[in-house]
Structure 1
Amino acid sequence: MDSFFVAMASNTPSRQFIIDNLKDIVDMLYKFELSPLRINRCVQSMIGNAGVKEPGKMRKNAESIKRDELFGGINKGLEFLEVYENLIKNTK
């Protein structure tokens, strides 16, 4: 289940869906009783990959997730997003 959302985040047409529904997706992953580590990795990938479409909105949505056990995944995803933004900016 989580790999589906990670794949969507890497697919340009699907990125907006991930950005708009990040909080709902996280809630859904918890309903499937996935381990917090697995959800962290998924969230990290979704934030970094999908966020390049609308970095500001992704930051806002990611920071609105209030789950202590996802703190690491969210922060790492935001770090990746910053790296990807700089890479895109510096390769134009």
Structure 2
Amino acid sequence: MGYKLSDLAIDTIKSLQSESEKEFKPQSKEDIKELGFALSLTYMVAGFGKGQDEEFKVLQEKISKVLEELKTHIDDIDFDDLNARLG
């Protein structure tokens, strides 16, 4: 049994997925790396887009926590649980 991602991670991934036309159903470590890349880009855009806006600071904090969680547990993520929770 693998690592179950936090609710924060699931909510953040769902939020990112809602802005994409493509449904995201990760199946491998490579898929998680792609997700990390997308989250990193979103983090950067949030920083450039509004600068000191509190809403974007909160978004950056959430993304930072999710990236750390993905990095820490990339080798033992429970993909069945992840995909079930993503819907």
Indicate the TM-score class for this superposition, using the shorter chain for normalisation.
0.3 to 0.5
TM-score (norm 1): 0.38
Higher relative contact order, structure no. (Cα contacts within 8 Å, ≥ 6 residues apart):
2
TM-score (norm 2): 0.40
Per residue, is there more helix in 1 or in 2? 1
